[in-house]
Each structure stands twice: as structure tokens, then as C-alpha cells.
Chain A
Amino acid sequence: MVIGATGPLRIVGGGTRSFGVAQGEVLSTAGLSGVTLYEPGALTLVVQAGTPLAEVEALLAGEGQALPFEPMDHRVILGTQGTPTMGGMVAANVSGPRRISVGACRDFLLGVRFVDGAGRVLKNGGRVMKNVTGYDLARLLAGSHGTLGVLTEVSLKVLPVARASVTLVLDGLEPVRAVQALSRALGSPYEVSGAAHVAAGQARTLIRLEGFAASVRYRAERLCAALAEFGDWQVVPEAADIWRDVRDVSALAGAGDIWRVSCRPSDAPGLAARVPGSDAVFDWGGGLIWLRAAPGTDVRAALGAFDGHATLIRAAPDVKARLGVFPQSAAPLAAIEAGLRARFDPRGVFNAGLMAPAGGVI
């Protein structure tokens, strides 16, 4: 299909994370489904790209394991239908609250098989935990949103699910104080695995601790004491639903444009305040801001210069076309990115114009 393409192809996994404005005939990975290999004792999983994420999560749960980076479900804020797939998750490098402690989706990627723009089936990486053999094209493909190639198989490292979990909850903090509290927690030795502040609606600051029961209890006590100056923290056991809401940014599910801003955590409250009338959810200790702004707001212009970048996740197509979905790199880097796209996809077949202005020939 790639070799025979005479026009652009739009690569679709489950169709739940259609951020951009890619054109063209649909290339679906739905037919590439199934688990190739799962070794719980080696924490290793190899799956076909079109395999539903839910199927994999159920398989892992059966062995007390999980995808530790907690991939978010974009259906909640995008209102999309369909079933998220493993390939889509990797292509968009989708992570959740636990990214702050264990790393992103790309950090757990061990290897890929993919089809490049010339129709060649290529592989990179493998199925082992440590691998520096040759250049790391696997991670380059993660987060490339299908603009470099079509993922057909992905290998991932998985981890055991923590046996116990508690969440420290405090209501009513201002964002500046909340991020200070989160920074203090993340700078402590108590292994925080989630650090969020939901400013939209009832302000609520959340800190998650996971591990063995006695250890979690101990760390919760110590952390409450260390953070006493911020208020009287309530310790809630489990709280999976709270973190699912943070992961899926449920607080911003209603109308309005949604932006995703990556920044220095301590800059986050000030940045959010630069966008008048916006609602915010701060995750990753403040390093990730989910902003809901009035439709059509140029949030990048409002934010001005800062250490980080902003992506427009939800907006009307005309707004996405006007403002651009993805942040654009500075000129010399943009040239390198364009050069890479030209090597991976010489004819500009894949998701043309999604991440950068279309440069191919199709």
C-alpha cells in the first residue's frame, strides 16, 4: 500500500488521538493485532501495532504487571470513538501522571518494526532492556505521530503493579503554593509517583505514593509532616479514579480549546496566568500544564517566550490550521527535522503536514 501510494496516506490505529489535520487515504493498522511475546519474568512485551491497548492492559494485569507510564485515554477530552492501540500510543508517545517518576512511553520502548516511506520493512532496537547497538531510531519514531513511518510492531518494558497506593489530598491551594508543595514532595526521598494540582473547579492538590503497604504508610506519614506548612493533608487509600481523572484531564472535558504545555515546573503557575480566562490542570509537579482557553485563543502568543513548548490538542479544524497543532522548532533544527523526514519518507506520503509544513512531493 505504501509502495503503491499515489497520494498522501493518513495512518490510523484506533483513531482516538487524531490531534492534527492530516489528509489522505486511510492506512489502518487494525489488521496488525496480537501479542507476539510476553515474558513476565523478563518484564518484556512484544505486540503488533494495531493491538488494542485495553487487551494488552488486561493481559498484563493477569500477571500483576502494567505499562508503568500510565498512557492517557484521549477519548475523554477529544470525544473520539474507537479503541486506542499500542502503535498509536507509541507514535504519540502517550504518558500519564507516573511519567514524573518512571519516565515516558518512549523510555519504556525497547524496539520497533516499521515501514518507511519507500515501503521497506525496517527494525530498530530489540526486546532487551539495555541496547546501544546503532542509532536509536525507535525512540525517534515514538512521538513522531506517524510522520516518519508506519509502526507495525513495538517492544516494551513493563513493570509490576505496586501492591499498595495512597494519595495525599489538600484542597484550596493557590497554584504557586501548590507547585511549591509538589516540588517539595518530589525533592524528598519518599518516591512520589504522581504530583498534580487541579486548579479548574475546586482547587485540589494530589500526591501519590506507591509500593508495599508498610512502606507506603511510612512515607505518607513522613510526607504529611514535611508538607504540614501547606495545610492538613488528607490521606486517601487507592484513589485510582482520582488519578484516572488526572491522567485523562477529565476536569477540562467540556467546551473550549485544550493546550498541552511542557515547562519548568516552577514557571507553570505564572505561565497559566498569562492566558486570561483559562482553566488549568497541572501534572508532573507542574511540568505539564493542561490549559483550557476560549476557542481560537493564540495561547503560544499569550505565553510568549519560555523554557518549553505548547501543543494544541483540541480545537476546531480552522483554529488548528491557523495556529498549528505542534510547536515548530528553531530554524537550524527545523532543517534537520525536515532532512530526517525526507530520508524516512522521501515522497511525503505519511501524515503529510501533520507535524511540520509538508515538504514531500506527493
Chain B
Amino acid sequence: MEMPLPDAGTLARKSDIVARLTAALPPGTVISDVAETRAYECDALSAYRCAPLAVALPRTTAEVATVLRLCHDMRVPVVPRGAGTSLAGGSLPTADSVVLGVARLNAVLETDLPNRTIRVGSGRTNLSVTGAVEADGFFYAPDPSSQLACAIAGNIAMNSGGAHCLKYGVTTNNLLGVTMVTMDGTVHEIGGAYLDAGGLDLLALICGSEGQLGVVTEATLRILPKPEGARPVLIGYDSSEVAGACVSDIIKAGVLPVAIEFMDRPCIEATEAFAHAGYPDCEALLIVEVEGSPAEIDEQLAIILEIARRHDPVELRESASAEESARIWLGRKSAFGAMGQMGDYMCLDGTIPVSQLPFVLRRIGELSVQFGLKVGNVFHAGDGNMHPLIIYDANTPGQQEKCEALGAEILKLCVEVGGCLTGEHGVGIEKRDLMDYQFAPEDLDMQMAVKDVFDPGWLLNPAKVFPLAASAVRRMAAQ
């Protein structure tokens, strides 16, 4: 992946830049020692690494504003960072940038149970938002797999989803307000503890803008009452087509499960070898989970099982206890780890219309053979969000390039059938150069024009989202 050449002038000014930041901020806020900045050289897309010029770890919105204003005045690029769990390289630094980490802004600022909202510092981890209201019977719905580690700031930047968003929506559907600092150091208050912010829907624009419009320091989030209970069923089929048809029929029947997860044979075999969850030997496996009181769960599962039986399953397993539920989820939850045992892997994130599922799975199988790399599929079937995992060996010369080429082919396939490049991980640097497949030049131009408004100098999170060639004129003009 090509990154822009670091600005030699900025690199030469390093000591001056660090000195100005250090002088304006409390002790311990700015890191510039090469050994220490290396900890920020990459995120979860660890194939790409580049240590930044310096790292700032402010504790308050005012300090964030100071960092941004100084960097703006010195024309130093800034790479915002939540917890560094992006799979798309969303917080990959450039050598001439300052990484602005929000991890220290992690307090619960206000909990308002009667109005079902919580306001937190954006560095707070996703799971600890739920942790703050769990004892009162509430939870925060979006649940990305990385929820133990990932920060709300990153969730907002990437508009993160999760396994349960079929029912509860993704981040943009659960975000009510933000405090955001633009690159020039201006602090903005957008929305709040009420529905549908006034004026233009800037919350929607900020959510998923990959930290390129501003740095979110606080967020007001919608919290929901916890359901009385949840129970999964496991359904095995001898073909992906049949499993896909079953998913479609469940949705059409008017049942709204909280999750419909799909695993294919390579993935089932890998997880069995790794986690011994007792999954059946079959081509496709569905885990369908419903929520409610025991009676409600029975009623919904009866409908789902009736549909499942109609499609002639090779296995049908209804959980009768918490242990059995955990066992059903065990394989799914360890799927990434299991695939990781087989080698290095690249996790894709394209979304397709659910009706195209069988065709796309067949084509991925063909491409896998053609490129000679194993691909396992584990994904959120209810909303068509695929997660093909390509297994490769990073130490074999040429394998990473081959893996990336296969990944690009799969993502192009997603776009061709009416889908998109990324459903919940974001574009980052990983899918940046494929944006031309999904968007016409004028579509990208309009998006870049939005960035012009928030960040006219193009300093915030450089080299992400837009193909370098598409943004070249703007970046040159900004200098």
C-alpha cells in the first residue's frame, strides 16, 4: 500500500514541534522518544507499520484542542487514535505526523437512566460503557468483536457494527451527540441527550468519517434495557445455497432474530480443530439467536425451527441451558483465533445483498482455488456483511501481495453484485485504492469536498479513505 512521502521539512523540525507541544501541555502528555513512539506504529492491520513523529495523549477536550491548534498552525498532520484496534489501518501513522490518542479521555460523564442515555469520554472502551450501566439493567447495543479493547472514538470513526446489529443497528443508530474538535482547534457541540439533532445531520456525517473531519472527545450514547434472556439454535446444512435460502425465509417470516451468523466448511473445520465446540460435519452452519422472556423465545424459536426443518437440515440443535448456549457460540466466537492458528490471515468486510449469498460464496471458492490460498467465511448473514478470512504466510515472499490481490478480487465481486467494500471495519488504507470501483470520480469528489469544509488543510488522518491519486490535487493545493 502506497503512502505519501513524509514531508522532509516537517521531519527536520521535529525537535521544535515536540518542544512547542510539550510546553503547551501538562507533563507526560507528549511522547517523542523513538523507542516509545514505536508502540504506536500500527493498529490491528499490523502488516503496515510506520512510527510517528510524536504522540500526544491528552486528558481533556481543551488539551485535544491545544494539540490540534498547534499542529494546525505548524502544518503537522495528525492521526487520531482510539484503542488502535482498526483492521483497516484507520490509525496508521505517517512519519511526519503526530498521533493524537484519546485513551485517557475515558470517564463516564453522565448517566441518565430515566432518559436512557450515557455520556462518556471517547477513549472509553465499548464494553465498559455497558459495564457502567449493566447493574441497572441496561446495555450499549453495538458490539464489535473487539469490544473488550476498542474505544468509542474508533467506533464512531468507523461506524462500527457487531453481531447483534441486525436488531439494534450500528453506531450511527445509537449515537445522540458528540463534542468534536476540528483541526483548527475549534470545539463543537453537536446533538445531545435528545433524538434527532437540529440543523443538518452532522452526526451522521461524522459517524464513519474515519477521523478525517474532527476528533471526537465526548459522546452521548443511547442505552437500552437488557432483554430478559436470549437463546441460540444451531442449524447445519449440506449446501450454502440452502442455508442462504433458510436465512431469507426466516427474515421474510417476520421473526427478527438478534443475530444470524453463518460459517462455511473451511471455517467449521478450523474451529472444530481449535475449539472442539462439537459442530456438525457440514457445508454451512447457521447460529440464530432470539431474545425475550422464556415464552417469547419458545414462540420465536418454534417458527425458526419450522422454517429450518423445511430446508432439510443435517443438524438442528436447540439450546436447553446456558452451558449449551455457550457451546453453540464457542466455535463462532473463537473462529478468528482458530483461523489464526492456520497462518496469518486477512479479514475482509464486504457487504452484499442477502439474495446474492450463494453466488458470492461459490465465486469466493473458485477464487480461492485460483489464487491457491485458503479462504474461510464467517459472517453476519442476516445483513449480508461477509467476513472472508484469507489464510497466508507473511514470511513466504510474495504471499502477502497475493493475499491482497485475492482480497481485492473478492471485494470487487461484492461491489459487482450490488454490495459495498466495507460493512463495519471502514476503508482506512486497506480499501482506499478500491474506492474507484464503488464510486464514480464525482461521487468521491463530493465526499472530498466535505473534508475541505472541516479540514481545509487536509491535515487530519492523512492518506486514508480516498485513493491518493484522487486526493492529490487537494493535498497539493492545501500545502
A140-B200, A142-B201, A215-B293 known; A262+B194 contact, CB < 8 A: yes
Contact with B along A127-144 (1 / 0, CB 8 A): 111111111110110111
Q: Is the CB of B351 within 8 A of A218?
A: no
B292 at the interface (CB under 8 A from A): yes
Contact with B along A281-306 (1 / 0, CB 8 A): 00010011000000000000000000
- Which residues of B (176-206) have their CB < 8 Å from a CB of A? 182, 186-190, 192-202, 204-205
B446: which A residues are within 8 A, CB to CB? 116, 120, 122, 124, 137, 343-344
B468 at the interface (CB under 8 A from A): no
A42-B354, A93-B196, A308-B192 known; A137+B205 contact, CB < 8 A: yes
A131-B420, A142-B201 known; A308+B194 contact, CB < 8 A: yes
Stretch among A236-244, A249-257, A332-340 lining the B interface: A332-340
Q: How far is the CA of A129 from the CA of B162 in the complex (A)?
A: 12
B114: which A residues are within 8 A, CB to CB? 180, 183, 187, 265-266
Q: Is the CB of B450 within 8 A of A340?
A: yes
Q: How far is the CA of A202 from the CA of B354 in the complex (A)?
A: 48
Q: Is the CB of A42 within 8 A of B351?
A: no
Task: Name which residue of chain B comes closest to A329, CB basis.
Answer: B199
Stretch among A1-9, A81-89, A103-111 lining the B interface: A103-111
Q: How far is the CA of A328 from the CA of B198 in the complex (A)?
A: 8
A41-B249, A134-B439, A137-B447 known; A93+B201 contact, CB < 8 A: yes
Q: Which of B161, B192, B426 neighbours the largest number of chain A CB atoms within 10 Å of its CB?
A: B192
A-B contact count (CB 8 A): 261
B205: which A residues are within 8 A, CB to CB? 135-137, 139-140
Task: Name which residue of chain A comes closest to B160, CB basis.
Answer: A132
Contact with A along B133-159 (1 / 0, CB 8 A): 000011000000000000000000011
A124: which B residues are within 8 A, CB to CB? 443, 446-447
Q: Is the CB of A120 within 8 A of B442?
A: yes
Q: How far is the CA of A344 from the CA of B447 in the complex (A)?
A: 10
B472 at the interface (CB under 8 A from A): no
Interface size grouping (class) on chain A: 35 or more
Q: How far is the CA of A132 from the CA of B425 in the complex (A)?
A: 7
Q: How far is the CA of A265 from the CA of B224 in the complex (A)?
A: 15
Contact with A along B291-334 (1 / 0, CB 8 A): 01101100110000000000000000000000000000000000
Contact with B along A22-43 (1 / 0, CB 8 A): 0000000000000000011111
* Given A128-B352, A336-B453, A337-B202, 5 extra CB contacts under 8 A: A127-B353, A131-B422, A133-B420, A134-B427, A160-B254
30 contacts between A and B (CB under 8 A): A41-B252, A104-B196, A106-B204, A128-B351, A128-B420, A136-B172, A136-B207, A139-B201, A140-B202, A159-B256, A160-B255, A180-B114, A187-B114, A191-B227, A214-B296, A215-B299, A219-B296, A264-B112, A264-B194, A287-B115, A307-B193, A311-B198, A329-B199, A330-B188, A334-B199, A336-B182, A340-B200, A343-B450, A343-B453, A355-B199
Binding site for A on B (CB under 8 A): 112-117, 137-138, 158-159, 161, 165-166, 169-170, 172-173, 182, 186-190, 192-202, 204-205, 207-209, 225-228, 248-249, 251-256, 292-293, 295-296, 299-300, 351-355, 380, 382-385, 418-427, 431, 435, 438-440, 442-444, 446-447, 449-454, 465
Binding site for B on A (CB under 8 A): 39-44, 63-64, 93, 95, 99-100, 103-104, 106-107, 116, 120, 122-124, 126-137, 139-140, 142-144, 148, 159-163, 180, 183, 186-189, 191, 211-212, 214-215, 218-219, 262-266, 284, 287-288, 307-309, 311, 326-330, 332-334, 336-337, 339-340, 343-344, 355-356
